[in-house]
Amino acid sequence: PPHESPRETAAAPALTWAPPELTRYESEYLEAVLSCVDSFFRGPYPVLRRNELNQETSHIMRRYMQRFAVVIRANLESTRGMLNEELLQSAAHRVAAALGDSSASRIRMLGKRAEPGAGPPRASMSGAAVAMRDDAAMALQVKWNDMLRRLREDPRIVQRLEAEENLFGQTLNLIEGLTDPEDAQYAKALQSVSARGSLPDGVDFRRGRIAVGDLLKRLVQNTRDHLQEDLGTLRRIQRLLLAMLRSAALSEDTMLLPAVQDEFVKSGVVQLLVSVLDARLAPDVSNTSWKLLQELLKAKMGVNKQAQRGLFESITGMDDSGLWDSFRGIVDAVGQTTKSIRSLKVLPSLSAAETEAVQEYREQLSNAELALEVMCFMVEGHDSAMQDYLYVQVGNSRSVNVLEDSFNLLVRLCKDAGVADTIEVFEEACMLKILELLIELAQGPNLRNQEHLSALGLVEVVFKLLGANFNHLQRRGGDLYPTNVRKLKSQLVAVLLALLEGRMDTKIQQTFLERIDAGVVKERISFVHLYFIFGVIQVAHSKVQSDSQSHAAIPLDGRDQHFLLPSVDQTELFHERELADDLAFELLEDLDDAELVELFSEGLNLLQLMLELTPLSKELAVDVTPAEAVASDFVDKPSHFMSERDYLWHRTEFHRKENYRHSYSFLKQFVKTIEVVVNGHLQRIHFQQPLTAMFYMQETSKQIILNNVPFRSPDIKAKAFIQMCQDVHQESQLIRQLSKFSVLSGRTRSWAQNNLPDGVHRPFQVFLTNDARRMQELLSGSLFIALILALHTGIFLIPMRTNAPFASATGHTHLAWSSLTTEAVAVGLGGLYIACTALWLVLTACIKVPLTALHQKERGKQSRWPKSMRAFVGCFSQPDMVWRSMLLGVCSTALCLQLPFILTFLVLDFFCQSARLATVLGGVIAPMRSVLMTSIGATIVTFAYASVGFHWFRDDFNDYCNKNVITCTQNIIYQSTRNGIVGLSSMMDTVMPDDRDFTSRMAYDISFFVITGIMLLNTVVALIVDSFSAQRRAAEEREINKESQTFISCLDRKIIEAVAQAVGISDGFNYHEEHKQPKWDYMSFVFYLHEKDPQDFTGPESAIKHCLERKDIKWMPLGRSKLLEEDKNNVNDDILKRIEQQAGNVGRELEGGTEVKQLVLASMKVLSRQVDTRCDQFSEQVVASHQRAHNTKTNSAPLSLDTVNEFMRSTESPD
């Protein structure tokens, strides 16, 4: 072997792997080729200016030619580089040309193939020699191809290629700015051409702007024109488009990726990809097309809605059958291969062909996972139009039901528990994508997709898989309940919840009730809980190392794994669980919401499913819902039973019920239920209560909400309540961060967390835990100390005796403590008071300063310190902080300046901490403005009276008004108030009726007393009394509102009580407030929406979060309650049905009114005709009567009574 190469000490990275089938020389050859490629990519001219690199490359090239000349001469036509067959040849040519080496001509042989006549004449060679030569050439070719394959797989080469492609894609994304002749920087550089004679280095001359959209359109058109005949160009264009999208995703400019995706949609890239998939050109081309669709829809957070909408418009405007055929082909390929691969898993070893088949199966699963992810992006955000389009592609020549095909693939991958035990990681990843897609297709809700999935048998499949162990995944993770199994089972239950989302009927619920397995539900709820309490102790005591940094783990060979088996002794489990519960609950607070979801998501989802179904089935409710306290007369004494066997059986059953009850109660504390209005429908929503709401929400914050929320109208009350909840959420999040702060870090912190009390390394946690009760205890303690200190001062602070050794002079008074002991006690109590108050101020400032910084408006671009100072000043400007700071200053001044008498001021804190005294103080302070104005008026009146008295009665005032009017006014104000508002009698001489100025004095004195002593004083009293009355009325009204109306829905108590009593609930109002619409659960729901990832929202959650952002309260159940609407005697099932029924009644009444109108008109017409007929008949009879009368008169015959009666009868009519 030759001497070691200088490359081993160079800066370039050495080969980090040594293939066992290659010799040392062959490895060195491979390293030399890598060096050539490295020089090719980095650019030979700048790199080789350095002498050491020049010498290194020359040495490598000489060794390259000397040792492997045979391989170079035997290079065949099938030689391939990484990008194309000319890569390595170009690298060698460029290096040789840069070096000017004499071996350049020999290096060029790399690109030449061995000509048939290049060697000795074939006739002169024997057949054996020819065969040996051919075999040697074939062996060299195999080595060459193996070397190229390893080159392509080398991570350095792959990373370098990706970096170059991304750089090129970035250049194309920014091509408009790089070629715009009107760019400001370019115009500035262009101005210097006249002075320099040329553009600066690195600046190219620009002729015209190149638009990204135009560039993409030309690429798309070129590809369409040569789609079937030039796959090489198609592949390069696909890589180019992919590089543009990926470089935009990596860019720091958040607006670049959406802009590039928008240009892709507008330029027809989507139609091109559909055409490529429809043509079915090559597997790698189709796979790259799916990658492009994935990158086209993906945003930095979730999915690009604009690109999603553009994609929908593009595919619905054309026959995109090829896209869905490609999806079906990918899914079917996996489904057809699954069974054969499953049979290979049980074999102890695999042949080369079987190994290749497994590798191909994994690639198929990877392609299916990619296609499924694209489908998820298409429907993410509960896009109902896209959900329907994935169900059936209307207008296409061929349609594919993505929902059904995805479910069928799930069944083929894992149809029962036996198959589940052989599932591997890559299959589990594909199953997760299927479940994610099914959830996205069902949420929104999409009623048709929900019903179709329930009819396919999803419930049976889910419960079969929930009962499976997934043995292979357990062995791979080394844990009884590894992370990937938790996530898979959680998603299985989440699919069932998605089928029930937003359902106003019970069709699917009834299907679930027919097929659900209550035994599996109870087993899984207990398993999730027991895994946590035993696993978290294992991790806390460092007995095991968990996967994925989980807080709980139970190894397969661990001591506690048998507690989670169905055959466990329930009595042993009962006792072990009781021992582990307390520690597990303490460690629960250390989790965050993501860790909580990871550990408990399966159990919490099952619990939500049961809460949705149990109201519809009493049998299921009895099976899965334990009683609050197990009603059992079991006595743990064998003497109370007939036999030992009977005793053991009853004990086991009792402990089994207790274990399950405890597991159910433990998980139930995380699941809350509220009533909301979505799309006009009142429905229940179950959600996971955040840990922020459980542990870090101060009780005082709740009380502040109750005391300050307005109740004038339901709308105002709801808006104020939601806004207060959002403010409290910010405060609770900050409290949570402070509570988790530790003075230790790293492994030391983990050790302290598991072995030391929290107060040792988490100073804030001591005071902020349990609703920050210890902070309230600090205030109570400081008040108690202030009371003791004030009493101590009042008793033991005495006037200083002559030559008292313990005196402290103030300049005005001389006071001293009665002894050194009393002084020491006062100093100690004062120091303790300062410590408590200062600690409370620090803790409160740590909470309020950041909150104040969040609430303050930005005032231009300022540095960090001015903003911090504004927040600090704003925090200490709040009334409670000002008051505490004043008390702290009073106590410090008393101790430092030896002014002990002011320690008595500390008891004024009673007005702050006592609610009743605070009300009294508020009653005095509230009218203070009016009282002040009244006092100013009294001073003005007194000044006027002083002027009159100074002029007319100066002698009567004696020395009180002998200087000027101002002095007289001051004396009147002081003396009159000093003597109890008795007027001027104490200042002026007494006058008698016989005196000359008695009348004027009487008028002067009485009028002053009436105006100031009666009117003005009573005005002040009336203002204060009115203030107290207003506060009392407001407090009474608030209490009456609390007692007579529900807090959330603002319904009358009498209605709630009546409906509750009708359904057998005794205390209906409290039941409604605590179980149906608990107000603090609505606060927890606001916390939940603010902390949950928007990509994981369900349909109702998305709608409510949108309402919160717009400060819309239409989702609040104002005036509505399920308790009322489920009562058929009170209201109908739904408000929409009521409106529809009312509209129908109105319509029917209108239709009935029209019919009546038509009948009246017809009757009037008939009556009119009858009247006309009778009138004609009457006229004819009258004429006939006249004629008869005339004839009778002519004949001179007397008119008889019979004739008159006959005439009257003839004119009568029944009408």
**What is the Cα–Cα distance from 26 to 20, expressed in whole angstroms?**
11
For the ranges 9-23, 37-51, 367-381, 595-609, the lowest mean pLDDT is seen at 9-23
Which of the four pLDDT bands, split at 50, 70 and 90, describes residue 287? very high
Is residue 851 predicted with pLDDT exceeding 80? Answer: no
User: What number is the average pLDDT over the span 436-461?
Assistant: 91
Q: Which phi-psi region, left, alpha or beta, contains residue 198 (left: φ > 0; alpha: ψ -120 to 50)? A: beta
Task: Give the whole-number percent of the chain exceeding pLDDT 90.
Answer: 24
Which residue would you say has higher pLDDT here, 379 or 1201?
379
Kindly report the average pLDDT of the chain as a whole number: 78
* Spacing of C-alpha 9 from chain mean position: 53
**What is the Cα–Cα distance from 11 to 602, expressed in whole angstroms?**
52
3-state DSSP helix/strand/coil % of the chain, to nearest 5? 70, 5, 25
The arrangement of strands across the sheet holding 797-799 comes to 797-799, 814-817, 807-809
Residue among 477, 303, 299, 453 at smallest CA distance from 391: 453
Which residue would you say has higher pLDDT here, 524 or 977?
524
Q: Are 215 and 237 in contact (CB under 8 A)?
A: no
Which of the four pLDDT bands, split at 50, 70 and 90, describes residue 150? low
List pLDDT tens digits, range 1010-1060. 888 788 888 888 888 888 888 888 888 888 888 889 999 999 999 998 898
Q: Buried b vs exposed e over 929-955: b needs ≥16 C-beta within 10 Å?
A: ebbeebeeebeebbbebbeebbeebee
List pLDDT tens digits, range 1134-1144. 445 555 656 66
Which of the four pLDDT bands, split at 50, 70 and 90, describes residue 410? very high
User: Both tokens of residue 643?
Assistant: 């036999």
Which of the four pLDDT bands, split at 50, 70 and 90, describes residue 807? very low
Is residue 501 predicted with pLDDT exceeding 70? Answer: yes
Q: Are 469 and 420 in contact (CB under 8 A)?
A: yes
- H helix runs in 804-927, sequence order: 820-855, 864-876, 879-896, 910-913, 915-925
User: What number is the average pLDDT over the span 945-963?
Assistant: 84
Is residue 414 predicted with pLDDT exceeding 60? Answer: yes
- What pLDDT score was predicted for residue 8? 35
Residue among 282, 287, 232 at smallest CA distance from 83: 232
- What pLDDT score was predicted for residue 3? 34
Name the β-bridge partners of 817: 797
- What pLDDT score was predicted for residue 346? 81
User: What number is the average pLDDT over the span 196-208?
Assistant: 70
User: What number is the average pLDDT over the span 550-559?
Assistant: 74
- What pLDDT score was predicted for residue 202? 66
Return the number of other C-beta atoms located less than 10 Å from residue 382's C-beta: 22
Q: Whose structure tokens read 């988490």?
A: 762
- What pLDDT score was predicted for residue 195? 58
Name, of 446-455, 619-628, 809-818, the range with top average pLDDT: 446-455
List pLDDT tens digits, range 317-360. 888 888 899 999 999 999 899 988 888 888 888 888 888 889 89
Q: What is the pTM of this model?
A: 0.75
Would you give the DSSP letter of residue 799? E
What is the per-residue DSSP string for 200-233?
PTT-----SPPPHHHHHHHHHHHHHHTTTT-HHH
**What is the Cα–Cα distance from 384 to 238, expressed in whole angstroms?**
31
Is residue 883 predicted with pLDDT exceeding 80? Answer: yes
Amino acid at 613: L
Which of the four pLDDT bands, split at 50, 70 and 90, describes residue 930? confident
User: What number is the average pLDDT over the span 663-686?
Assistant: 92
Is residue 13 predicted with pLDDT exceeding 50? Answer: no
Residue among 730, 747, 972, 736 at smallest CA distance from 852: 730
For the ranges 672-681, 766-775, 801-810, the lowest mean pLDDT is seen at 801-810
Which residue would you say has higher pLDDT here, 27 or 417?
417
Which of the four pLDDT bands, split at 50, 70 and 90, describes residue 463? very high
For the ranges 517-526, 845-854, 1063-1072, the lowest mean pLDDT is seen at 845-854
List pLDDT tens digits, range 54-98. 454 455 555 544 544 444 444 433 333 333 334 455 555 444 444
- What pLDDT score was predicted for residue 1156? 55
Which of the four pLDDT bands, split at 50, 70 and 90, describes residue 934? confident
Return the number of other C-beta atoms located less than 10 Å from residue 237's C-beta: 18
Q: Are 849 and 805 in contact (CB under 8 A)?
A: no
Is residue 891 predicted with pLDDT exceeding 60? Answer: yes
Cis bond before residue 799 (omega within 30° of 0): no
- What pLDDT score was predicted for residue 122? 41
**What is the Cα–Cα distance from 117 to 126, expressed in whole angstroms?**
15
**What is the Cα–Cα distance from 688 to 706, expressed in whole angstroms?**
24
Which residue would you say has higher pLDDT here, 912 or 604?
604
For the ranges 524-528, 730-734, 735-739, 1126-1130, the lowest mean pLDDT is seen at 1126-1130
Residue among 1023, 1121, 1108 at smallest CA distance from 1078: 1121
Which of the four pLDDT bands, split at 50, 70 and 90, describes residue 159? confident
Is residue 36 predicted with pLDDT exceeding 50? Answer: yes
Which of the four pLDDT bands, split at 50, 70 and 90, describes residue 400? very high
- What pLDDT score was predicted for residue 919? 77
Which of the four pLDDT bands, split at 50, 70 and 90, describes residue 1169? low
- What pLDDT score was predicted for residue 1134? 45
For the ranges 147-156, 472-481, 822-831, 1068-1077, the lowest mean pLDDT is seen at 147-156
- C-alpha Rg value of the chain to the nearest Å: 47
Is residue 603 predicted with pLDDT exceeding 90? Answer: yes
Inter-axis angle of helices 127-153 and 24-42, to 10 degrees?
A: 50
List pLDDT tens digits, range 705-726. 988 898 888 999 999 999 999 9
Would you say how long the chain is, in residues?
1215
Q: Are 522 and 624 in contact (CB under 8 A)?
A: yes
Is residue 642 predicted with pLDDT exceeding 90? Answer: no
Is residue 812 predicted with pLDDT exceeding 80? Answer: no
- What pLDDT score was predicted for residue 1079? 93
* First-to-final CA distance of the chain: 140
**What is the Cα–Cα distance from 485 to 643, expressed in whole angstroms?**
44
Is residue 4 predicted with pLDDT exceeding 80? Answer: no
Is residue 609 predicted with pLDDT exceeding 90? Answer: yes
Would you give the DSSP letter of residue 552? -
